[in-house]
Amino acid sequence: MENFSLFASPWWVNIFVLIPFAAFFWWRKRLDIARPTLFLTSIFGAAFGFVEAAVVVYLRSATGFLTLHNGMLLNAFNFQSFYQKPAMAGNLPAFLFSIELYREAATVVMLVVIALLAARPVRDRVAIFLFTFAFWDIFYYIFLRLTIRWPVGLTDQDILFFIPAPWIAQVWYPLLISFLLILAVILGRKNNK
């Protein structure tokens, strides 16, 4: 834990850790979301996490941050020094950066649409959005780890989003928020149907 950093940047990204607590307080056992809905949206989130991880692998390959030789990842076991996502922010060609911004926006739009389709009341829609987002985020890191052996540890730096500016934090930070969001939704349900 020698490289542990408590704070993300920019400063306002740190406020996001309050969202699971505020949401749970808002919901207070009033969410009317059935188990099958949670199950299906978690499956969508996990599958979408793989799509996101695949896009990152392709983007790394296209920009030279991920080197392949004869279909094999080079330096797979020493990937922590090779995969420097925060370094990529300044080195990404402008046209790829634009595509990345639109891809991130499209990701959020898709998660919003799933929430709109899965629930009626606004609080349930917000819960589904956050729940699906959390599964997407957790499985994004799982699939990156399974495919390119990154992140090596929870203190690896990552860019979480580029919109409106790069959000940089260690991997533990989005994972913590995601697990708290899942817990808030599960505990915020009014019954166990």
Q: What is the pLDDT of residues 46-93, one digit of tens each?
A: 999 999 999 988 887 777 766 655 555 554 434 444 445 555 555 667
- Which pLDDT score, from 0 to 100, does residue 87 have? 53
CA distance 156 to 150: 9
Angle of CA points 122, 133, 11, to nearest 5°: 95
Residues comprising the chain, all counted:
193
What amino acid occupies position 69? H
Residue with tokens 């922590």: 80
Ramachandran class of 143: left when φ > 0, alpha when ψ lies in -120 to 50, beta otherwise: alpha
Ramachandran class of 64: left when φ > 0, alpha when ψ lies in -120 to 50, beta otherwise: left
Q: What is the pLDDT of residues 98-146, one digit of tens each?
A: 888 898 999 999 999 999 999 999 999 999 999 999 999 999 999 999 9
Q: What are the structure tokens assigned to 78, written together?
A: 């020493």
Strand intervals (E) in the chain: 68-69, 72-73, 157-161, 167-170
Domain boundaries, the chain: 34-188
- Which pLDDT score, from 0 to 100, does residue 89 have? 55
Residue 127's Cβ-count burial label (10 Å; 0-12, 13-18, 19+) is buried
CA distance 173 to 26: 23
Asked if residue 173 has pLDDT above 60, the reply is yes
What is the b/e burial string over 148-175, where b = at least 16 CB atoms within 10 angstroms of the residue's CB?
bbbbeeebbbbbbbbeeebbbbbbbbbb
Mean pLDDT for 152-159 is 92
Please give the mean pLDDT across all residues of the chain. Answer: 86
- Which pLDDT score, from 0 to 100, does residue 67 have? 61
Stronger pLDDT, 68 or 149, i.e. the higher one: 149
Asked if residue 176 has pLDDT above 60, the reply is yes
